[in-house]
Amino acid sequence: MALVLRGGRVVGGTGVRRADVRISGGVIVSVGPDEAVAGDDITDVSGKFILPGGVDAHTHFDLPLGDGTRSDDDFASGTRSAIAGGTTCVIDYATQFRGESLNRGLDNWHGLADGRCFCDYSFHLAVTDWNGSVADELPGVMARGVTSFKMYMAYKGALQVDDGVLYEALRRLEDLGGLLCVHCENGDIISALSRELLRAGKTGPEHHPASRPEELEAEATGRLLVIASLAGAPVYVVHVSSGASIKKILEARSSGQTVFAETCPQYLYLDDSLYSPARADAAKYVCSPPLRDGRNHAEMWSALSKNIADVVATDHCSFNFNGRKDRHNCDFTGIPNGLPGVGSRMMLLYLGVARGLITMPQMARLASENPARIFGIHPGKGSITPGADADIVVLDPDGKSVITAETQFQNVDYTPYEGWEIPCRIESTYLRGERVFHMGRFLPGGPRGRFVRRRAAGVF
């Protein structure tokens, strides 16, 4: 027996059309005007948007910080929250720490995630310790279905790599068809600025943004793009937060480079007034890059509406405020960096649609189709077409949601969007044809998430 979602507004990357979606064996078998046959199980979804399940290409679940602590959402709570928010696949940043092989880093992340995920999942692999034998592991790691990697130009003394390493990695990945994702901020200067601020007695969380101005993001972005050009390699810039960085990306593209750009809801909605010294909870908003101002928000929305930015991911990296983020008033550099958000991304994108800033097809591309294409899982993920996995979100534009810490599924004591009213409801989420979340409740069973092996990252 097949399942038919009847009469919804099916959203694809190029348009919206009224159609039935027929599902069998976990995959979409047909999409068209009248697909049901006798015996099918029919669900009427007229008036609702039928979107491809979200693909969140940037999460940090269960991330060790190096001091024996970890980020507060693990793979179970993080992916449960993803499902409730309409995301059916996450690509988390597995990390090779100093002294580890790449395969060890990847094994560690499988150990954290396998059997615990409510949605499908894959990994990028962050490389923090580059050498010849690590480079020689790349083909084997790619054969394990991990075809994108990450390097950090910030977090000096911890995750940061130097420019020569970036160049060498880009050269090797270009040969292999892998894609490098890069955190672009100038870590050396951030470190110097931070010391200067602390010496001047500027120790509270309100000084975090002054230690990481947008110039240092744009400088690192521009530098990366010069390095990538010399290496002849495509590159993916994670969590772009400023118009100045977008400008660098456009310049590189205009000289023929392949550059993908990702941003996150926090760089579209949350402004740097949240770091005001008048706020007792400024530490909640400490993330890197830091929140920017309204001018940057407008420039980032413009980059989305003009199809300049390719992906909206979350960079979900959650730490409780009480007892964790609130403990570092004497040294803001000790505040664990990151914001929660995996559960609210789709709603926040829809808010952008409701405000006329992007269209529904753009939402489908930014949330699902583009990350699936870039990271080598399209059309199995990110599309509502015959043969694709039946990962589907039913979004009710007549419903209402309020984002609150009290009702969220994320395992963290706050949400940066507390009390925000969203003019839609994620009514149901289907994972490979099974309805796993409906009307605010999880269906019994699960976890059901499977590891998704990815092809060499797609360049489109």
Chain positions 274 to 333 lying near Zn ion, rule: CB under 5 A, are 315
- CB 175: neighbour CB atoms within 10 A? 12
| Half-sphere exposure at residue 1, Cβ-oriented, CA atoms within 13 angstroms | 7
Cβ proximity to Zn ion: between 152 and 430 the closer is 152
- The stretch among 181-189, 391-399, 404-412, 445-453 that binds Zn ion (CB under 5 A) is 181-189
Cβ proximity to ligand URP: between 161 and 388 the closer is 161
Cβ proximity to ligand URP: between 238 and 394 the closer is 238
In the complex, minimum distance from the CB of residue 453 to Zn ion, in angstroms, rounded to a whole number: 22
* Residue 244 near which of ligand URP, Zn ion, none (CB within 5-8 Å, type-dependent): none
Chain positions 262 to 291 lying near ligand URP, rule: CB under 6 A, are 287-288
Cα dihedral sign, 291-296-297-299 = negative
In the complex, minimum distance from the CB of residue 71 to ligand URP, in angstroms, rounded to a whole number: 8
Q: Does 80 bind ligand URP (CB under 6 A)?
A: no
Helix (H) / strand (E) containing 47: none
The gap from C-alpha 4 to its chain's centroid, in whole angstroms, comes to 30
Which residues touch 413 (CB under 8 Å, ≥6 apart)? 320, 321, 322, 405
Question: Which of residues 124, 183, 328, 432 is near ligand URP by CB under 6 A?
Answer: 183
Q: How many binding residues for ligand URP (CB under 6 A)?
A: 8
Q: Find the DSSP H helices in 95-235.
A: 102-113, 132-143, 163-176, 187-199, 208-211, 214-231
Chain positions 327 to 346 lying near ligand URP, rule: CB under 6 A, are 337-338
In the complex, minimum distance from the CB of residue 338 to ligand URP, in angstroms, rounded to a whole number: 3
Chain positions 65 to 84 lying near Zn ion, rule: CB under 5 A, are none
* Torsions phi, psi for 205 (to 5 deg): -60, -25
Q: How far is CA 51 from CA 17, 293, 409, in A?
A: 11, 31, 21
CA dihedral 366, 369, 372, 373 (to 10 degrees): -100
- What is the rounded distance in angstroms from the CA atom of residue 442 to the CA atom of residue 54? 17
CB 126 within 8 A of CB 153: no
Q: Does 183 bind Zn ion (CB under 5 A)?
A: yes
Question: Which of residues 303, 317, 363, 395 is near ligand URP by CB under 6 A?
Answer: 317
In the complex, minimum distance from the CB of residue 454 to ligand URP, in angstroms, rounded to a whole number: 20
Q: Does 128 bind ligand URP (CB under 6 A)?
A: no
Binding site for ligand URP (CB under 6 A): 60, 183, 287-288, 315, 317, 337-338
Binding site for Zn ion (CB under 5 A): 183, 315
